[in-house]
Structure 1
Amino acid sequence: MSKPIYIIGHRNPDTDSICSAVAYANLKTALGEHVVPARAGKINAETKYVLELFGVQPPQLILDIYPRAKDVMHENIITIHPWNTLRKLGQLIQSHKLKSIPVVENDGKLVGIVTVSDLAERYVSELGMQDLRETGVNYAGILRCLNGTLVCGGELSRIIEGRVKIAASRTQTMAKVINSGDIVLVGNRTKVQLACIEVGVSCLIVTGDFEVAPEVETAAQAAGTYIIRAPQDTYTCARLINQSIPVRNIMKTNVASFKPEDMVSDIKNSIIRTGYRNYPVAQAGNLVGLIDRDRLIVPERDQVILVDHNERSQAVDGIEEAKIVEIIDHHRLGGLETSEPIFIRHEPVGSTATIVANMHWQRNVPIPKSIAGLLLAAIISDTVLFKSPTATKKDCDTANKLAQIVGLTIQDFGMAMLKAGSVIDKLTPADIVAADLKEFQIGEYYVAISQLSVMDPEGVLQQQSQLEAALQAICNKEQYNMAILLITGIVDEATYLLYYGQPAGLIAAAFGEGRPDGTWYLPGVMSRKKQVVPPLIDAVRRS
């Protein structure tokens, strides 16, 4: 299945951002599109109340959409076990035209990587018959390499302890050059075979696919000697036995690998620095993919639909790496650029949910009761129960239609929802400042404006010094010129403003002189975008 299109709201999401993403995903799914609703931050108390009330799961959390190792790795990987032979390795390299192969245990644990260069270096270093005593070769490995037949013998996992020799001398001479425990390559020479068994060799490899004489087999069984019949000639068998060495003897164990969540930008830097051809991708030590240096191309970009925002400063991290395909919003235009024309639905209403609801009706897509409840909650939240100056007749009409679907009274439901969202007992000053924060560029200044809607603003102001410290902390951390907190009273329809930052006279220029305690009381101010940002912009222009 192709990658889905993510429908996602702004960072520090509010109820409109979350509910509009879920509802728009419902519409797009009904129209046959592969979409996934997402969120770019933590769900606040109000939104949590709404989702639980209507039995809807929170959308997927996506903190950034930078391309990662999992987006560029190959999942169909040829692997080899550390106990497999060099012959097996060579066959895999040849048949699949590979340059390197990850080495894994039975459970998929990555233990090394072996390359064509490692194999070539082993062959170049061969000057004769290899001493297999220190290599961990067992009889099963030799049997596989020779594609031979076990005539007689015991446990194939037994490790070879002797040297490999070729019986090319006379019978009398063989007794002088062959020692007990050796492995001997011999042709169709019955007397030599019997002499070797008498010396006490551990294994006879009868080359040329010759039949083993009955008396030789009887003597071998009595002495506990292995006999392997090989179809190749003696020279070929000697070469193949050298390939019975386990892969673990030549593999690299210090593997340069990545994790699935490593960002492609970091991967590229590491690849340039190390210069290997292939890089395993491992999760908790287990191999899950492979990145080919020669095929490391820009991955297919994630496709996203932005709801309830259109500014890069408010978008999920990595938005510049994604392909924006639609924007559904009700805010000012914020200057996002796209590589090609896209669908934009942008209306001057109080809530993105108003737009999404009407798009359902315009496309004759029924709105389920749970989705209607989310959309109604989003409209109520963003318009503060229609008390905000951003509320329009279209918001009210849409809310009334949604309320009929859900079977709720707008006023009662709205007050219950807003009360749920105004409970701040478990919130720290830092949580309050970060809960509904949006970034704005006002003139040459970068300003963060947070808004908290509560029943009792005076109760929140009791933490004024701690809140001002939190504003200072967020300014220092994120390098804002100024951070502003709006504490909006739902009942008395007024806002208290606290700030930290520069220029010091900006707030007074926009809203007049403040109160002696360092706060500003703004009666009738309910909307951040209509009643706070515009005066700040005008103040900067006048300065």
Structure 2
Amino acid sequence: MENVQQTVYVVGHKNPDTDSICAAISYAALKRKVTGEKYKAKRAGQVNPETQFVLDRFGVDAPSYVSDVRTQVKDIEIRKVDGVSKYISLKKAWTILGKNKIVTLPIVQEHNELEGIITIGDITKAYMDVYDSTILSKAKTSFSNIVETLEGEMVVGDSGECLTCGKVLIAAANPDLMENYIEKGDIVILGNRYESQLCAIEMEAKCIIVCDGAKVSYTITKLAEQRGCTIIITPFDTYTVARLINQSMPIGFFMRKDNITTFTQDDFIDDIRGVMANKRHRDFPILDKNDKLVGMISRRNLLRARKKKLIMVDHNELTQAVEGIEEAEIMEVIDHHRIGNIETMNPVYFRNQPVGCTSTIVYQMYQENNVEIEPKIAGLLCSAILSDTLVFRSPTCTPLDKVVAENLAKIAGIEIEEYAKEMFAAGSNLRDKSAEEIFYQDFKKFSAGNVTFGVGQITSMSTEELENIKNKLVPYMEKAAGLHGVQMIFFMLTNILEESTELLYNGEGSEELLKEAFHVEDPGKSLRLKDFVSRKKQLIPAIVGSLQKD
């Protein structure tokens, strides 16, 4: 297997917010500069309008989407095997198999689209089990294949022509007897006897194969041209020619073309392992998204599968991570939330700081590594801090967040208050969004003890807009609880200017939980909370604290 450097994905949480996306992009860029190795930002969900505004403002493309990080076919050794044409001979295919020490040869069309496969076993069977003397014509064997297989020379005829009828025979008898069994269209293997050559041509043989490198007279050559008879001269003797000639047949006649088991580069190893175990053959073609051949794999390749390598940013809880995280190799965790329930097989670099934003930590790491922050990266990091701290209004905001944001704003060339208004306005423009789109814009799952609950949040500067969102969300929340398998769902409608939140809730036990957490007798259909804007610092601790008491 080639020692190809494996790309490390830097990924935020599902339903990513601005910090999750911007921290991933910025940290991947830092790791590339510091190590010179391959680090690539990915996203585990859709980009919300606020984040898209930020990316557009600073001219940065959104990371590509990854839905599952289980090991895929692309993560294992794919043996690069060039596909061959169905018109090549059995002998040539056998030579290719032997030279490359493989047992299966993929057969492709002109644009590398898989047409069939042939194995050593198929070739052996074709050679050993065929006793039909007309098999060359049935297989539509080309004269070029015959010339190549017999290492011969075409004296008369068209090498591109194919046999369509006739049998193969050896002219071992005298011409008088030959007249009784040579028929029109036959291929006759013979020696240098003038009379036998003349007889075969006069009996309308399609081709005569002259053995032992014997010369053909001018008279025979001219007569063959007139009668449309091909002449091939070969250095091999009659016995060898008789043995070899069936190997000139095209592999397309013997290839397997129906019910071929193929896989794509994106298939998961877990899904294909069982399929491979139930098949008799050893090798399986791998196709790309356009059904073009990439290479071959075998069961043995699965033993050398490489887990995907990940760096988690802005989360460390299993319920918030991309699907398949349990099968990936976690390299680092960079986060500012509570320590969750993620587990790793080996020690990892884990950096968790009580600041308002993961991007603040990423900024520190740029400074620690003496890496200059370019303006577009500064813009991303600053935007993430403004978003997560609600322009320093959130109780999660620390003095460090504010200092870092102000430094980054200077590098990015933005004025904080003015830019923040534009950013939040872009993010809160949800008038035309469906309840589902709004709900998943910033939704996370948490667990405490045996209870799993979900919390979403929308921030806006408009009371009217929040009221419209509420009317959409209330009927949708019951459906959402069933989709995610959570006992309770809470949704924060946060007014940035008023620094207040209206908390919607749904699910068995959610009302009693709010009574306990916020010391209220009757939360009503929703709970209004003043000086309350942070999910991480204010809501989650209150809910988890009450659950732990229970």
Give the TM interval when normalised to the shorter protein: over 0.9
Give the alignment's TM-score, normalised by structure 1: 0.96
* 1:132-171 aligned within 5 A: 132-154=136-158, 156-171=160-175
Q: Which amino acid aligns with 1:277?
A: R
The one-letter code of the counterpart of 2:487 is N
Q: Deviations over 1:363-383 (max 9, x none)?
A: 221111221111111111111
Question: What CA distance in whole angstroms lies between the structure 2 residues aligned with 1:463 and 1:394?
Answer: 33
Give the equivalent residue in structure 2 for 1:16.
19
Matched, 1:7 2:10: yes
Of residues 70, 74, 86, the one that matches 1:66 is 70
For structure 2, the 5+ residue unaligned runs are none
For residue 279 of structure 2, what is the aligned residue in structure 1? 274
Q: Is the 8 A contact 1:487 1:497 kept in 2?
A: yes
Q: CA deviation at 1:276?
A: 2.2
Which residue of 422, 437, 445 maps to 1:439? 445
**Unpaired segments ≥5 residues, structure 1:** none
Deviation at 1:156, TM superposition (A): 2.9
Confirm or deny that 1:523 pairs with 2:527: no
Quote the residue 1:489 is aligned against.
495
| Cα deviation 1:150-172 (Å, max 9, x = unaligned) | 11123532334211111011121
1:28 counterpart = 2:26: no
- CA–CA distance in structure 2, aligned partners of residues 154 and 75 of structure 1: 38
Structure 1 counterpart of 2:345, one-letter code: S
Structure 2 letter corresponding to 1:259: T
Match of 1:536 among 508, 527, 543: 543
Equivalent of residue 197 in structure 2, options 193, 197, 211: 193
| Aligned-partner SS, 1:415 | helix
Q: How is 1:274-313 mapped onto 2 (pairs within 5 angstroms)? A: 274-283=279-288, 284-313=290-319
Q: Which amino acid aligns with 2:172?
A: A
Q: Distance in 1 between matches of 2:101 and 2:408?
A: 62
- Write the mapping of 1:408-427 to structure 2, written as runs, cut at 5 A: 408-427=414-433
CA distance in 1, matches of 2:548, 2:341: 19
- For the structure 1 residues 78 and 52, does the alpha-carbon distance in structure 2 shift closer, same or farther, using more than 3 Å as the test? closer
**Maintained 8 Å contact 1:514/1:521:** no
Distance 2:70 2:155 in 1: 60
How many positions carry a matched residue from both structures?
543
Structure 1 counterpart of 2:515, from 489, 504, 508: 508
Match of 2:455 in 1: 449
* Matching residue within 400, 422, 425 for 1:394: 400
RMSD of aligned residue pairs (Cα, Å)? 1.8
Alignment check: 8 A CA contact 1:5 1:304 kept: yes
For residues 192 and 278 of structure 1, the distance between their equivalents in structure 2, rounded to whole angstroms, comes to 48
Shift of 1:516: 7.4
Q: Deviations over 1:17-54 (max 9, x none)?
A: 11111221232222133211222111111111111112
Distance 2:450 2:132 in 1: 77
Q: Give the match for residue 245 of structure 1.
A: 249
Q: Cα offset for 1:355?
A: 1.0
In the TM superposition, what is the alpha-carbon distance from 1:70 to its structure 2 partner? 2.3
Alpha-carbon distance in structure 1 between the residues aligned to 2:149 and 2:128: 19
- 1:514 and 1:228 map into 2 onto residues whose CA distance is 103
Partner of 2:467: 461
Aligned positions of 1:229-378 closer than 5 A:
229-254=233-258, 255-283=260-288, 284-378=290-384
Residue 479 of structure 2 aligns with which residue? 473
* One-letter identity of the residue aligned with 1:398: V
16-25 or 407-416: bigger deviation: 407-416
Q: SS state of the match for residue 22, structure 2? A: helix
Residues 416/200 of structure 1: CA separation in 2 closer, same or farther (3 Å cut):
closer
Q: Is the 8 A contact 2:385 2:401 kept in 1?
A: yes
Residues 156 and 361 (structure 1), Cα distance of their counterparts in 2 relative to 1, 3 Å cut: closer
Write the distance in 2 (CA, Å) between the matches of 1:401 and 1:171.
102
Task: Give, as a single letter, the amino acid of the residue that structure 1 aligns with 2:509.
Answer: P
Q: Is the 8 A contact 1:135 1:245 kept in 2?
A: yes
Match of 2:95 in 1: 91
Sort the Cα spacing of 1:453 and 1:141 in 2 relative to 1 into closer, same or farther, 3 A.
same
The corresponding residue for 2:47 is 43
1:159-238 equivalence runs, <5 A: 159-238=163-242
Paired residue type of 1:346: N
CA contact (8 A) 1:138 1:160 kept: no
Native 8 Å contact 2:143 2:158 kept in 1: no
How many Å apart are 1:514 and its aligned residue?
A: 7.3
CA distance in 2, matches of 1:231, 1:359: 75
SS of the equivalent of 1:447 reads strand
**CA–CA distance in structure 2, aligned partners of residues 419 and 205 of structure 1:** 85
Change (3 A) 1:62 1:398: same
Q: 3-state SS of the aligned residue for 1:117?
A: helix
Do the aligned partners of 1:129 and 1:242 also contact (CA within 8 Å) in 2? Answer: no
**Percent identity for Structure 1 against Structure 2:** 35
Query: Displacement, 1:515?
Result: 6.5
> How far did residue 13 of structure 1 move?
0.8
Structure 2 vs 1, CA of residues 376 and 514 (structure 1 numbering), >3 Å: closer, same or farther?
farther
